[in-house]
A and B are shown apart, each in its own frame.
Chain A
């Protein structure tokens, strides 16, 4: 079965047991939301860093599918195909 990979920024890797890439098997397209459910299921602290308790993506967390930030697509409903790679990158913000 094909996989979908989620690439984590370095700052979040300690919350995923030190892994830089989380993968989940997929035999078809899945939404970004269900992909996050799948790869963070065993890492609840990591899950909370990405989404709040209503399920909303945190404001300065950006997720890229095919080089496009998902807020420009269909948000957490954006579909990801098997074999694709998803990037999580914190936005450049702060002072």
Chain B
């Protein structure tokens, strides 16, 4: 998806506490919005799947009254489908029920139809039919550490799933539990948190129990991942065997977001917050920080962002697209959404005064944009 044909366009999906907004653009400057879709339900997860010659938007929906479910649209939100038997349901015998779908992760181009999901209670799921039905990953569900995993403030969930190009290495991050790695495509799992601090525990360097907020894979270096921790920003170059701090040069090491470039090695973005106890941008000044050298140095990016901002940016409320140069998008708990068409050098506010932004995803899609859909 590195190249765009002349008729390519962009889709931006914004999941909030009270519904979903969709936008399309041909230049990443002028956006045409539809929404709210799913009014009064929160949308904590979105996956935009551009494989198989179509654009499928999958959303994790959660109503306080009516519970969670997965829906998808193949027409940019004009119509939505909820599989009749439900896409994600705990099987009999687990005595568990889905609370919230935290992550929808379309797998690689080479594995069309494969979509992963991260769910609360802590669990990982895999679909092979484009997100219409998911199977519980039993290896992680039956893991002996399960009883010792905890709940972060937002709930106990698997919130990050990263699959390497071969499909053999799968990394999952959970709050709280930390990073777990599978070397066999998701059959068996081991914790891999060496070097990541859990300062809030009696032993600050446990095998597991860390509160890793987000992980992302380097675009071009297999075995290199980045982590935004609950205080701490880290990189691993050896497939998570060892993590080392890359927080030097950032104004704060707390935050939730971790984004990586779609193609270029060494490039990642974070959105620092001051501290655990002060979850605001440092000095009330919102800024994205980008590294182009795998965390050795960081560049502050705040052009086009407000002078004063006291809202946090949540872990999935940020995204990149796959264009050249890559677009960077994020939303705040104050309902503002910012977009950059130049890798974060300059931002423009594309939406404001929405409900709390929980999830943002962006994608390049083939063909001209569909007319703004009727709100659902």
- Contacts from A to B (Cβ < 8 Å): 12, 44-45, 48-50, 52-54, 56, 58, 60-61, 90-91, 93-94
Contact = CB atoms under 8 A, between A and B. Distances in A.
Given A48-B69, A49-B63, A50-B66, 7 more contacts: A45-B82, A45-B84, A49-B67, A53-B96, A56-B97, A61-B66, A94-B65
Contacts of B66: 12, 49-50, 58, 61, 90
Contacts of B84: 44-45
A86 to B, nearest CB: 17
A52 B97 CA distance: 6
B373 to A, nearest CB: 18
Q: Ordered nearest first, which 8 A-B pairs have the shortest CB separation?
A: A52-B97, A49-B66, A90-B65, A60-B65, A53-B89, A54-B97, A53-B97, A53-B90
Contacts of A56: 97
Interface of B: 40, 63-67, 69, 82, 84-86, 89-90, 95-98
Contacts of B98: 52-53
B69 A94 contact: no
The winner among B40, B66, B69, B90 for most chain A CB atoms within 10 A is B66
A93 B65 contact: yes
Contacts of B69: 48
A94 B40 CA distance: 9
Contacts of B82: 45
User: Which DSSP category, helix, strand, loop or mixed, fits chain B's interface?
Assistant: loop
Most buried by B among A48, A60, A90, A93: A48
Contact of A60 (B64, B85, B95): B64
A47 B64 CA distance: 16
A56 B69 CA distance: 16
B67 A54 contact: no
A91 B65 contact: yes
B85 A44 contact: yes
A59 to B, nearest CB: 8
Contact of B86 (A48, A58, A91, A94): A48
Contacts of A52: 67, 97-98
Contacts of B67: 48-49, 52, 58
A60 B65 CA distance: 5
B65 A61 contact: yes
A10 B293 CA distance: 56
A94 to B, nearest CB: 6
Contacts of A53: 86, 89-90, 96-98
Contacts of B96: 53-54
A58 B85 CA distance: 18
A91 B85 CA distance: 25
A30 to B, nearest CB: 23
Contacts of A48: 67, 69, 86, 89
A49 B85 CA distance: 12
A91 B64 CA distance: 10
B95 to A, nearest CB: 6
A44 to B, nearest CB: 5
Contacts of A94: 40, 64-65
A76 B364 CA distance: 49
A45 B90 CA distance: 15
Contacts of A44: 84-86
23 contacts: A12-B66, A44-B85, A45-B82, A48-B67, A48-B69, A49-B63, A49-B65, A50-B66, A52-B97, A52-B98, A53-B86, A53-B89, A53-B97, A53-B98, A54-B90, A54-B96, A54-B97, A56-B97, A58-B65, A58-B66, A90-B65, A93-B64, A94-B65
A54 B85 contact: no
Nearest to B83: A45
Contacts of A58: 65-67
A44 B85 CA distance: 6
B95 A54 contact: yes
